[in-house]
A and B are shown apart, each in its own frame.
Chain A
Amino acid sequence: MGGLMTRSVLLACCAMGASTSSFAATQGSVGATSTGSVSISATVPGRVQISGLTDLNFGTVDPAAAATSTEDVCVWSNTSGKAYQITAAGSGAANAFTLTDGTNTLVYGIQWADSSGQSSGTELTSGTPLGAQVSTATNPTCSSGPTKTASLIVNMSAANLQAAAAGAYTGTLTLVVAPQ
């Protein structure tokens, strides 16, 4: 019995050695106890997700003053620093940030902040990533932890409103986030 116990202990030591070096499965031997081990490995790729977006409707806008609409969204990143970059593209020519009434265009601007509840942020340029943003989300859809982690700010300057012909303007804005 003593010999068997000694062998078991030695096997356990071998198993621990394997776990820190070669990471190969070890098989147990027959005895009063028997010890085997396996290595386990998994690769978690860098992933991000943006959610919680809603359509923005400015309603009727008075050209005499600038108009701004903001919304809080969820951006999740699983990189070690929870960092991400965001790129915006409008539906205008060459992805410009413009709305259209079918004939005329209305220029708008986009700002982004990597915290919620903000009314101003970093100005985005169409197609140009804004990096070094950091998420506080703890799961991909913010279903637990912070429910919102970033602010999207859309603004129309008085000058651009005054330059636009009267009409009903629409367009789309596409936001692409990537792990960083």
Chain B
Amino acid sequence: MAPGSAQRSQSARNSRRLTVAGRLGACALLVLASRAAAADQARISALSDVAFGTIASFTSDWVRSQSVCLSAKSPPTNLYRITATGSGAGGSFVLDSGSEKLSYDVQWADSSGQTAGTQLVPNQPLTAQQSSVSSSDPGDCSKGPATTASLIVILRSSALAAASSGTYSGSLTLLVAPE
């Protein structure tokens, strides 16, 4: 066999190996993608209504935080994103008392027991949040930490001072998705 022929033959074998490896890799990726699409799940629960009651002073911010269960199963990191939408115009974080409005801020932390977090923008996802629930059941906080994240709602003193007297209410919708 001529030297050139031997080289071509070796090259062809390598090429076949690469092709085989490439096919295997593609298959593996497909399997992984398929498993991810089927298994990636999230759940938000343990939410409570936020009642500020009567605001006694307008000189400081009023903060209400609650620890919630956020479980996300998106191996290997269990990352999720969260999107908040208020009941104000265009999903804004605004309470109303009929004709009057009162704006508020929303923050999120991916650990429980926090009184400050990352500021959320209405309708814009906050990404790269991580769930600490390691259970195979993504909806179950009873098998791990009971709560895994913090929802913080803030009435700013400036907004309170600018608001008319009255009883304000609204709703906040939180949508989570695995990443």
Taking Cβ atoms with an 8 Å cutoff, the residues of A that contact B are 1, 8, 12, 15-16, 18-20, 23-47, 78-80, 82, 138-140, 179
How far is A138 from B164 in the complex, measured between Cα atoms in Å? 10
For A46, what are the chain B residues with a Cβ–Cβ distance below 8 Å? 165
A28 & B45 in contact (Cβ 8 Å cutoff) = yes
B interface size (C-beta, 8 A)? 55
How far is A41 from B174 in the complex, measured between Cα atoms in Å? 17
On whether A35 and B44 interact (CB within 8 A), knowing A15-B173, A40-B50, the answer reads yes
A37 & B168 in contact (Cβ 8 Å cutoff) = no
A44 & B49 in contact (Cβ 8 Å cutoff) = no
Contact with A along B85-111 (1 / 0, CB 8 A): 001000000010001101010000000
On whether A35 and B100 interact (CB within 8 A), knowing A25-B47, A41-B51, the answer reads no
Task: State the 6 A-B residue pairs at the shortest beta-carbon distance, nearest first.
Answer: A19-B171, A30-B139, A42-B52, A46-B165, A27-B45, A28-B44
B41 & A32 in contact (Cβ 8 Å cutoff) = yes
Find the residue from B48, B138, B172 having the highest chain A CB count within 10 A: B172
Which of B46, B54, B62, B170 contacts A39 (CB under 8 A)? B170
Contact with A along B134-158 (1 / 0, CB 8 A): 0001110000000000010101001
On whether A43 and B58 interact (CB within 8 A), knowing A27-B46, A36-B44, the answer reads no
How far is A16 from B85 in the complex, measured between Cα atoms in Å? 10
For B167, what are the chain A residues with a Cβ–Cβ distance below 8 Å? 41-44
Output the least CB separation between A17 and chain B (Å): 10
For B160, what are the chain A residues with a Cβ–Cβ distance below 8 Å? 44
B42 & A41 in contact (Cβ 8 Å cutoff) = no
B47 & A38 in contact (Cβ 8 Å cutoff) = yes
Is B175 among interface residues, defined by CB-CB distance under 8 A? Answer: yes
For A82, what are the chain B residues with a Cβ–Cβ distance below 8 Å? 164
Taking Cβ atoms with an 8 Å cutoff, the residues of B that contact A are 37-38, 40-56, 58, 62, 68, 71, 87, 95, 99-100, 102, 104, 137-139, 151, 153, 155, 158, 160-178
For B139, what are the chain A residues with a Cβ–Cβ distance below 8 Å? 29-30
For B151, what are the chain A residues with a Cβ–Cβ distance below 8 Å? 38
B165 & A41 in contact (Cβ 8 Å cutoff) = no
On whether A42 and B55 interact (CB within 8 A), knowing A23-B49, A37-B172, A78-B163, the answer reads yes
A23 & B169 in contact (Cβ 8 Å cutoff) = yes
A45 & B172 in contact (Cβ 8 Å cutoff) = no
| Chain B: CB-nearest residue to A29 | B43
Output the least CB separation between B152 and chain A (Å): 12
B172 & A40 in contact (Cβ 8 Å cutoff) = yes
For B52, what are the chain A residues with a Cβ–Cβ distance below 8 Å? 40-43
Which of A38, A42, A79 contacts B171 (CB under 8 A)? A38
How far is A78 from B167 in the complex, measured between Cα atoms in Å? 13
For B48, what are the chain A residues with a Cβ–Cβ distance below 8 Å? 25, 38
Output the least CB separation between A40 and chain B (Å): 4
Output the least CB separation between A77 and chain B (Å): 9
Given contacts A28-B44, A31-B42, A36-B174, 7 further A-B contacts (CB under 8 A): A30-B42, A35-B174, A36-B45, A37-B173, A39-B169, A42-B95, A138-B162
How far is A61 from B101 in the complex, measured between Cα atoms in Å? 51
For A38, what are the chain B residues with a Cβ–Cβ distance below 8 Å? 47-50, 151, 171-172, 174
